[in-house]
Amino acid sequence: MSQKFDVVVIGAGPGGYVAAIKAAQLGLKTACIEKYQDKDGKIALGGTCLNVGCIPSKALLDSSWKFHEAQDGFAVHGISAKGVSIDVPAMVGRKNTIIKNLTGGVAGLFKANGVTLLEGHGKLLAGKKVEVTDKDGNTSVVEAENVILASGSRPIDIPPAPVDQDVIVDSTGALEFQSVPKKLGVIGAGVIGLELGSVWARLGAEVTVLEALDKFLPAADEAVAKEAFKTLTKQGLDIKLGARVTGSEVKKKQVTVNYTDSAGEQKIVFDKLIVAVGRRPVTTDLLASDSGVDLDERGYIFVDDHCATSVPGVYAIGDVVRGMMLAHKASEEGVMVAERIAGHKAQMNYDLIPSVIYTHPEIAWVGKTEQQLKGEGVAVNVGTFPFAASGRAMAANDTGGFVKVIADANTDRVLGVHVIGPSAAELVQQGAIGMEFGTSAEDLGMMVFSHPTLSEALHEAALAVNGGAIHIANRKKR
């Protein structure tokens, strides 16, 4: 007789494992199916995020930033650090230890919460049955009252630059280099391309980023994108916009990349090439032909605002459905779905999902950009505060960038917070908390902020919205 569960989750990424834990906490008998094996052939939980995404990339970003600071950033503090060197295998090894700890931590949480882990490939059959195929090819079927599909995404391949995980790599391969490439190419100036390009540039690689679009960071506020382009270029990233890759040839451990730009056909040679042009949903062998679950025209699993698919009792969350491909979006959808299965009226505010790019300076935003709001005909007031005027930023010798707060000109309600600068992600989260509660710029301005903090820049930008900033000259008098 097959096992029966209240909830079966396919995929243990940040969407799936959070959904499974939440469902179990709500008293539902829950199983989670995962097939990803680590280098030792053991099942590793945590999905892209913990194994080859958010956490490993941030580990390398932090290590490479420390190296960069030790090389170039200490002298200003009166500290001389001579003969600084980098042991790349040790740096990558540290990253791998963090992954092991975190993925093991998720396994521990499954045990603590009573989630049953089923190792293998999950496939949804008709009638909310799920087939599990283990690594030896043995199959079993479990039954579920509810199924949550959380199979995530994988890197997009492009024919002009086929990934061999040696010279031409995807984001996963770029986390495993054992030495610093002299000349590194990156196709794609999106979040992943910029973060991984920054890691290796800080360690000494000559980095060229080829971006097909003419516009840099089109989703960001234009003022932020402009500042980011200026700063990253100054750091040594050669970002070529309007550069469309047309072909590549690997020879003797180097790759020649052909691309076209406004000047015509170009050629450039790299020691390594990272393809970071985006990610696509994983639905391979996930759904039996009679499962009844529909995909949308772009290949994502079709869901409504509450992540319900076309089959009652079957849900899908995270990267495999529409919306931003972000771990926190996946997790919150997981919580929402688990709560709804348990009979609660949970919902999610898709308008307030923060975006972060962990370059230095960090880039982060929540809500709408000034350009979006103006395009929608919304009259706005804008307040900006530069970190160059922040005592805390000066003390840290990290004064690049600014905070920008955008508020409705009629109601003063904050509609967007955009930050480029130190701890941008943390500052934007403060804006997001305020915006969730409908804060006005005046409300933010009336709050007491600790001194000296980077957060004071958010306070001052909110004050500046209505011409009341204290530590910069206001454009507009009260």
Ligand X SMILES: Cc1cc2nc3c(=O)[nH]c(=O)nc-3n(C[C@H](O)[C@H](O)[C@H](O)COP(=O)(O)OP(=O)(O)OC[C@H]3O[C@@H](n4cnc5c(N)ncnc54)[C@H](O)[C@@H]3O)c2cc1C
Q: Coil, helix or strand for 49? A: helix
Q: Coil, helix or strand for 387? A: helix
- How far apart, in whole angstroms, are the C-alpha atoms of residue 147 and residue 423? 38
Beta carbon nearer to ligand X, 121 or 128: 121
Contacts of 470 (CB under 8 A, 6+ apart): 460, 463
Contact indicator for 266, 258 with CB cutoff of 8 Å:
yes
Contact indicator for 463, 456 with CB cutoff of 8 Å:
no
Please indicate if the annotation marks 90 as binding a ligand.
no
Please indicate if the annotation marks 325 as binding a ligand.
yes
Beta carbon nearer to ligand X, 327 or 407: 327
Smallest separation, CB 271 to ligand X (Å): 20
Tally of CA atoms within 13 A in the half-sphere of 458 that contains its CB: 31
Smallest separation, CB 283 to ligand X (Å): 8
Count of beta carbons in the 10 Å neighbourhood of residue 197: 29
Please indicate if the annotation marks 176 as binding a ligand.
no
Residues that bind ligand X (CB under 6 A): 10-16, 33-36, 47-49, 52-54, 57, 121-122, 150-153, 171, 192, 282, 286, 318-319, 325-328, 330, 358
Contact indicator for 400, 421 with CB cutoff of 8 Å:
yes
**Rounded to 5 degrees, what angle do the CA atoms 4, 5, 9 make?**
125
355-357 β-sheet, strand order: 355-357, 362-367, 414-421, 402-408, 380-386
Please indicate if the annotation marks 194 as binding a ligand.
yes
Smallest separation, CB 463 to ligand X (Å): 30
Please indicate if the annotation marks 58 as binding a ligand.
yes
Smallest separation, CB 471 to ligand X (Å): 31
Beta carbon nearer to ligand X, 360 or 459: 360
Please state the separation of Cα 236 from the chain's center in Å.
23
Strands 139-149 and 206-211: unpaired
Beta carbon nearer to ligand X, 215 or 328: 328
Strands 362-367 and 414-421: antiparallel
Beta carbon nearer to ligand X, 46 or 181: 46
The two structure tokens encoding residue 323: 């919306």
Asked if residue 386 has a cis previous peptide bond (ω within 30° of 0), the answer is: no
Smallest separation, CB 447 to ligand X (Å): 27
Beta carbon nearer to ligand X, 53 or 386: 53
Smallest separation, CB 422 to ligand X (Å): 17
The two structure tokens encoding residue 200: 């290796």
Residue with tokens 């054992």, as numbered in its chain: 178
* Residues with a known catalytic role: 451
Please indicate if the annotation marks 435 as binding a ligand.
no
Closest CA to 450 of 441, 440, 459, 439: 459
Please indicate if the annotation marks 188 as binding a ligand.
yes
Please indicate if the annotation marks 327 as binding a ligand.
yes
**Residues tagged in the binding site annotation for FAD:** 58, 122, 319, 325-328
**Residues tagged in the binding site annotation for NAD(+):** 188-195, 211, 278
**Residues tagged in the binding site annotation:** 58, 122, 188-195, 211, 278, 319, 325-328
